[in-house]
Amino acid sequence: MKGLVVYYSKYGNGKIIAEAIASGLRETGHDIAVSDVGEKDTGPDFDFIVVGSPTRAGRMMGSVKRFIGRELKQAAWKGKKFIAFGTGFRPKGSGKFDQMGAKSAEKVYDAIRKAGLEPMMEAQKFFVKDMQGPLEEGEQERAVELGRSVGRLIRTG
């Protein structure tokens, strides 16, 4: 199937995750385009979409929110499948940052669902060690594996 991975990434961590998910999907036989959210308008010529955003103060980035409003609310996307992912801190306790830990995953999920698309799975979180990264060990491989398992799932229907 034809899929699109759209992400915003300030420090490059989300870009690594986006590319890793795309590579897992490609390994399992899908035709995948990867696009930075600001790069170009994409058009709805895809069977499914993966959207990712960093977490900022518990929210997704405005550019990702605008992309969802501008593109995914179009009728042609209605009912198509999506995966939402977010990057941020791993919750370690009950502090303020913990409650906001990688919360963008859920924010992206909720916004896309509201736009009328169908989730393939719950919101996916990928964790960074510090403000600008790097990713925790194993996160890139976990993203490749996510791409592979989703790829196998949609191939077999």
Ligand X SMILES: Cc1cc2nc3c(=O)[nH]c(=O)nc-3n(C[C@H](O)[C@H](O)[C@H](O)COP(=O)(O)O)c2cc1C
Binding mask 13-52 for ligand X (x = CB under 6 A): xx--------------------------------------
Residue 45 CB, nearest approach to ligand X (Å): 26
**8 Å CB contact between 44 and 70:** no
Contacts of ligand X in 99-138 (CB under 6 A): 100-102, 128, 131-133
Range in contact with ligand X (rule: CB under 6 A) among 42-50, 62-70, 81-89, 145-153: 81-89
Give least dist CB 155 to ligand X, A: 28
Among 3, 24, 88, 147, interactor with ligand X by CB under 6 A: 88
Q: How far apart are CA 11 and CA 134, in angstroms?
A: 9
Given the complex with ligand X, which of 71 and 139 has the nearer CB atom? 139
The two tokens of residue 37 are 């959210």
DSSP states along 30-76? -EEEEEETTT----S--SEEEEEEE-BTTB--HHHHHHIIIIITSGG
131: its two tokens: 């403000």
Contact call for residue 140 and ligand X (CB under 6 A): no
User: Could you give the CA distance from residue 14 to residue 28 in angstroms, rounded to a whole number?
Assistant: 22
Separation between Cα atoms, residue 111 and residue 57, nearest integer Å: 17
Q: Which residues bind ligand X (CB under 6 A)?
A: 9-14, 54-58, 87-89, 97, 100-102, 128, 131-133
